[in-house]
Structure 1
Amino acid sequence: MADNSLKDFYIPTYILVPESEAEIVPDAPKCPVIVFINSKSGGQLGGDLFVTYCSLLNEHQVFDLGKEAPDKVLSRIYLNLEKLKLGGDDLAIKIQERLRIIVAGGDGTAGWLLGVVCDLKLSKPPPIATVPLGTGNNLPFAFGWGKKNPVTDRHSVESFLKKVREAKEMKIDNWHILMRMKAPKDGPCDPIAPLELPHSLHAFHRVSATDSLNMEGCHTFRGGFWNYFSLGMDAQVSYAFHSERKLHPDKFKNQLVNQSTYAKLGFAASIFHHSSLNIAQLAKVKIMKKSGQWRDLDIPHSIRSIICLNLPSFSGGLNPWGTPNSKKQRDRDLTPPFVDDGLLEVVGFRDAWHGLVLFAPNGHGTRLAQAHRIRFEFHKGATDHTYMRIDGEPWKQPLPVDDDTVVVEISHLGQVNMLATHDCKSKSIHDPSTPTHDAEDEDSNEEYDTVQDGEERRKFGAADTFRIPDEVDISHLS
């Protein structure tokens, strides 16, 4: 890409820095971008990528997330844009209409940016492109940006910018999660993460006494996610991996080494932890379609992990749901995994060996249901803790043993704009070119595909925003 093509992405300083001297710009950029980079992600790659972007663009449009939070950056820029527009600045109008965001980091970093854009309630939220710079890189892979950590030289960055200019906009669902339990008589019930609470859980913290979701005598937590929520052995393996990585960070600077270590932990758990409680022993699961009442979901006793999946990318690009064939669509009302249909795909796995089926053609996990809302009610005294994971970030969740009031509920919250390549894995329900089924799909788990009706219905409110604490040290987002 010739140097003059970089003008398509360049934003003048006076647009980005309030009170700067105005500049005369002959043509408005066709694809103005603001770039956020987690310089701590990907070993040295994040820092190298920051240097390259600064050399190609205006240094004022490239931000190191280790030094400045994205909500403050975007608030400042958008306030300045509004001020300039009121003054009759046509360039400001065009830049705001065409603005796109690039975020480079792991899934946690990308999710943070998505949450911030949701928070700001902008009249025209800019769509977001994600540069893979972590271990799983599920978000970038789902939208066609790849899953391998990037090359950071000038040519590679220019090629990525060109793809951003040519990318299509795609809406995806986002999801609210609420966890409520009676305050235990002994000990806390706050989430215990590997050495510290994962930052990408956004608002996953105890609500204040003035919050509408607060209930006297209970501990209530809330948060949100874009890719998946998982429960059981999958989250337990992830917790072990993150704990080891934070204790020995020097051993986890290579993406392939990280993925290999993760796989070994998964198979070790399958072999040596046969006593792990299965999901049916832990909790009752209820689901709700877009309209209707709660229904009990029958969970086979062999299932040790449940994944509630929003995007067709898990564990580095695998698709646990697959594409149900026409028979399953007709008999069980199952659909392909659209990212904007207001439904989560609920998939079960027996162990890590079961997960190997994902590497086979048309392989998938045990399809349990698709749901607009999901509720987990933990059984009294089943265990004193379990493991959960949101978008790659795990935690150990203590559970009260003296009552059965522990509830986790997931509900649809809204949508956010993403940038995607034209051949990406994610599919929109509004795209007429999306295939409706895969005739070759075969399900080896037919005996598990049953859902039973239930009568109980209980509604929780949804959070208006996702937020990340001001004191967060984002260097751990990877």
Structure 2
Amino acid sequence: MGDGNSIRTLKEFSIPDYILLPGAENRGVYHVPACPVVVFINSKSGGQLGGELFVTYSSILNKNQVFDLGVHAPDKVLHQLYANLAKLKHNGDNFAAEIQNRLRIIVAGGDGTASWLLGVVSDLKLPHPPPIATVPLGTGNNLPFAFGWGKKNPTTDIQSVVSFLNHVKAAKEMKIDRRVTTLTEVDFGTILAWSAYLKLGCTQGWFLSSLFQSSSRNIAQLTKVKIMKRQGQWEDLHIPRSIRSIVCLNLPSFSGGLNPWGKPNRKKSIYRDLTLPYVDDGLFEVVGFRDAWHGLVLFAPNGHGTRLAQASKIRFEFHKGAADYTFMRIDGEPWKQPLPKDDATVVVEISHHGQVSMLATPLRHSKSMHDDDPSSPSVDHEEDDSSDEEDDSSEERRKFGAADTFKYPEEVDIAHLS
């Protein structure tokens, strides 16, 4: 890496200290980098790979433009950087203006880490927000996969990192819908407890009823589901009796590249007023599965879910009686959600909340409304018939080789299964 060509290559990505550190001396900078980057790395992701990536990036770039997320909060880093850029531009620094216009962000971590960065960039309301490239360093790596960055953990040598930087330089900017998920507990019209999960892009909330409990064999027994289409009114979502779990998606895949709906049936799509799944149309896909453990369905031959609807908002209302809890997951992060034991209602709502910018390679699976050829994502199978009301759970278990009496041991927390 000591030859002249390599040094010139890295200059295309480097940012001088006086841009990054308020009060640092401007020693005279004349070359404007084509693709200045700020790098955020979750050093705890990917086993030792996160730490190794941090060392490699720090060795070939200015160490002050590479940040360990375990040490530096990204909102504080970006707030300081953009405040300094604003000050320099106000003083007539054209170089600072070019850095801001060309800046790109690299984030290395899992889907949760990437969603965190997307949320930070959106919430800061930065002038000319930088687009984000994702290094797959988690378990599912669904977000990197959807935008062409792969789903396997990367190698950490200098040559591989420089190659990734060059792909970032050549990548295309794409808008992606942002989602906000709120969880509210209401008792007689009074909000008792409220918490919000700001998760972007690959909002993957799935709501499970146990396949092995006869009292909760259908997701409709757990929750009442309502959807809103664009600027319309709330309407009840019909859920076939056979549906045991629901996934809400804004990407063409989930759980590391699994295709959830097979090949959309054109006639059914027209009848149900469904369009192709785009990441920037303000709508997300609502997909139902006949198995609470929908990952098993997708790994099975010809396995896929059923597109139930497209919506700009969806609301799940959980009431007393159906079950003590349900399992939920957002952007790869699972949790066990207690359900009401009295007259209270637990409400989970997912809604559209603006857009953020991603960087995508030619290998991307995500589709935009603004593509020159906005064709459907690559798919293999015909969509399931959602009108099928069959509810034979014993037959479903046999398909996956599970005995009728199969149960997970009590000490196994299925919230951590993926």
Cα separation, 2, equivalents of 1:321 and 1:79:
45
Runs of 4+ in 1 over 6 A off after TM superposition: 437-440
* Structure 2 match to 1:3: 7
Question: Does 1:312 find its partner at 2:312?
Answer: no
Which blocks of at least 5 consecutive residues in structure 1 are unaligned?
185-214, 237-268, 450-478
Cα separation, 1, equivalents of 2:294 and 2:80:
49
Cα-to-partner distance string for 1:51-83 (whole Å, 9 max, x where unaligned):
000111000100011111001111111111111
**Pairing of 1:384-399 with structure 2 (within 5 A):** 384-399=324-339
Question: Does 1:341 find its partner at 2:281?
Answer: yes
Work out which of the residue numbers 202, 213, 222 in structure 1 matches 2:196.
222
- Cα–Cα, structure 1 residues 448 and 413, in superposed 2: closer, same or farther, change >3 Å? farther
* Structure 1 match to 2:34: 30
Deviation at 1:302, TM superposition (A): 2.3
Question: Does 1:178 find its partner at 2:198?
Answer: no
Amino acid of the structure 2 residue aligned with 1:109: T
Q: Is the 8 A contact 1:322 1:337 kept in 2?
A: no
SS in 1 for 2:113: helix
Cα separation, 2, equivalents of 1:277 and 1:378:
15
Amino acid of the structure 2 residue aligned with 1:97: N
Q: Is the 8 A contact 1:349 1:355 kept in 2?
A: no
Question: Does 1:369 find its partner at 2:309?
Answer: yes
**Pairing of 1:13-24 with structure 2 (within 5 A):** 13-24=17-28
Q: Among the aligned pairs, what percent are the same residue?
A: 66
- Cα–Cα, structure 1 residues 32 and 354, in superposed 2: closer, same or farther, change >3 Å? closer
- Cα–Cα, structure 1 residues 322 and 440, in superposed 2: closer, same or farther, change >3 Å? closer
Greater Cα shift, 413-422 or 290-299:
290-299
Cα-Cα RMSD: 2.4
- Cα–Cα, structure 1 residues 73 and 158, in superposed 2: closer, same or farther, change >3 Å? same
* Structure 2 match to 1:379: 319
* Structure 1 match to 2:91: 87
Deviation at 1:311, TM superposition (A): 1.1
Cα separation, 1, equivalents of 2:118 and 2:262:
25
**Pairing of 1:109-258 with structure 2 (within 5 A):** 109-182=113-186, 216-226=190-200, 227-233=202-208
Work out which of the residue numbers 353, 359, 367 in structure 2 matches 1:413.
353
Deviation at 1:432, TM superposition (A): 2.6
Cα separation, 1, equivalents of 2:30 and 2:197:
45
Cα separation, 2, equivalents of 1:6 and 1:438:
36
Q: Is the 8 A contact 1:321 1:345 kept in 2?
A: no
Cα-to-partner distance string for 1:57-112 (whole Å, 9 max, x where unaligned):
00010001111100111111111111111111111000000000000011111111
Cα separation, 2, equivalents of 1:131 and 1:232:
28
Q: Is the 8 A contact 1:107 1:139 kept in 2?
A: yes
Q: Is the 8 A contact 2:367 2:376 kept in 1?
A: no
Question: Does 1:56 find its partner at 2:60?
Answer: yes
Cα-to-partner distance string for 1:103-130 (whole Å, 9 max, x where unaligned):
0011111111111101111121000000
Question: Does 1:443 find its partner at 2:383?
Answer: yes
* Structure 2 match to 1:247: none
Deviation at 1:182, TM superposition (A): 2.9
Cα separation, 2, equivalents of 1:167 and 1:357:
34
Deviation at 1:303, TM superposition (A): 1.8
Cα-to-partner distance string for 1:370-398 (whole Å, 9 max, x where unaligned):
11111111233222222211101111112
Deviation at 1:231, TM superposition (A): 3.2
* Structure 2 match to 1:433: 373
Which blocks of at least 5 consecutive residues in structure 2 are unaligned?
390-418
Deviation at 1:176, TM superposition (A): 1.7
SS in 2 for 1:140: helix
Cα separation, 2, equivalents of 1:116 and 1:174:
12
Q: Is the 8 A contact 2:107 2:117 kept in 1?
A: yes
Tell me: higher relative CO, structure 1 or 2? Use CA pairs within 8 A at least 6 residues apart.
Answer: 1
Greater Cα shift, 374-383 or 148-157:
374-383
Amino acid of the structure 1 residue aligned with 2:198: G
Greater Cα shift, 219-228 or 89-98:
219-228
SS in 1 for 2:85: helix
Cα separation, 2, equivalents of 1:180 and 1:440:
39
Q: Is the 8 A contact 2:262 2:379 kept in 1?
A: no
Q: Is the 8 A contact 2:179 2:203 kept in 1?
A: no
Amino acid of the structure 2 residue aligned with 1:17: L
SS in 2 for 1:2: helix
SS in 2 for 1:348: strand
Deviation at 1:221, TM superposition (A): 2.1
Deviation at 1:291, TM superposition (A): 2.4
Cα-to-partner distance string for 1:177-203 (whole Å, 9 max, x where unaligned):
22222359xxxxxxxxxxxxxxxxxxx
Cα separation, 1, equivalents of 2:204 and 2:362:
27
- Cα–Cα, structure 1 residues 181 and 448, in superposed 2: closer, same or farther, change >3 Å? farther
Cα separation, 1, equivalents of 2:236 and 2:339:
22
Deviation at 1:169, TM superposition (A): 0.4
* Structure 2 match to 1:329: 269
SS in 1 for 2:53: helix
